[in-house]
Amino acid sequence: MLRRLPLSKYGRIARCLLSNLLTDKPFYPFYASFKLTSRCHFACAFCNIKDEHRPDLPTERVKRILDNLSDSSVALVSFEGGEPLLRSDIGELLEYARSKDFYLLFTTSERKLEHYPMKAYARYIDFLHISIDEGHNNLQMFDRLEEFARFGTRLSIQVVVTRDTLQWLEEKVRRCAQAGANMVVMPAVHMNRTEDRFPDLDRFQAELGWLKQAYPGIIYTPDGYFERVKKRRCSPESIIIDSTGELFYPCHILEKKGPDLSEQSLMDYLVSPEAHASRREMARCEKGCGWFQYFSIGEFTSIKTALRSLMPFRQQRLRYTPK
């Protein structure tokens, strides 16, 4: 069973969901990606974090941001990077995050996870994402999925596909099905200052469609993601926090930033004239970049599609037995 958050948090989330629904203009965010560091082992052609050389935020500033998110509408915080395991204080941050009023997702592409106390870390993690694909040059980790499943938390494999690697997706899905691991499959977004490796959207949709039928309950990339990309319907219900502590707003792809969340309340910022202007800018954007979290979040917050989109999580709960 998923752990329980305080009733007051569920109440805040419900009120904010209702507000977004009644206004038909997404306003409050429910998912936050927190880039804990810009340091990374890799130099993926489709990622621009390799161009950033920034010192990590001090531990206490990170904790203030987590306090801020805990007091907001955000229900799920994702620790990302770069590679978050490269922070020397990651254990302390995981333990602190566990005490806050949100669920914690942790994303890593570290090839040598055996060098880290992952079973100890897993006590604080609600959802573990291990990113495995050609870009991270760590395909050998597919041979260790059963080992990773014994960490003691819900495991999903994150796969980024490009126009050159889509043809090998079935092999990855089959391996996850054998190990009883869920998958999130997302395209390599064309970020600024990177090579364009975004796959053909129709081909990607068709490939994912038949793989979902062949391997039911494994892939939780929602079907509605593709229609939302085609209709340019991205949403600020998902936010990204830079390794500097600043909020990307309205989105990362535009590289426009809002406040430093170690200093300003997220909920206060959301009602400011600046935030309203940024959301209007997002609504007018014609890029259709396909950034997964901006275009898929609406499927998880919609009454019509949420249960279907979350089905792989529910099925994994039935398969999952802590060791």
Counting the structural domains of the chain, the total is 1
pTM higher than 0.85, yes or no?
A: yes
User: According to the model, what pLDDT value does residue 322 have?
Assistant: 36
Q: Over the stretch 257-270, which tens digit does the pLDDT of each residue have?
A: 999 999 999 999 99
245 φ, ψ (degrees, to nearest 5): 95, -5
Indicate whether 46 belongs to any domain: yes
Indicate whether 226 belongs to any domain: yes
90-99, 156-165, 299-308: which range is least confident on average?
299-308
Q: What average pLDDT does range 19-32 have in this prediction? A: 90
Return the amino acid letter for 239: I
Indicate whether 47 belongs to any domain: yes
Give residues with Cβ within 8 angstroms of 281, minimum separation 6.
250, 254, 256
User: According to the model, what pLDDT value does residue 303 have?
Assistant: 62
Q: Show the domain range for 291.
A: 7-319
Indicate whether 1 belongs to any domain: no
Q: What average pLDDT does range 56-74 have in this prediction? A: 98
Name the average pLDDT for the chain. Answer: 91
Distance CA 191, CA 163 (A): 15
Indicate whether 24 belongs to any domain: yes
Indicate whether 2 belongs to any domain: no
Indicate whether 208 belongs to any domain: yes
Cβ pair 247, 241 in contact under 8 A:
yes
Confidence category of residue 164, pLDDT binned at 50, 70, 90: very high
Share of the chain above pLDDT 90, in %: 78
Query: What CATH number is associated with residue 241?
Result: 3.20.20.70
Indicate whether 40 belongs to any domain: yes
Confidence category of residue 306, pLDDT binned at 50, 70, 90: very low
Give residues with Cβ within 8 angstroms of 25, minimum separation 6.
279
pLDDT above 60 for 308: no
User: According to the model, what pLDDT value does residue 195 have?
Assistant: 87
User: According to the model, what pLDDT value does residue 50 have?
Assistant: 66
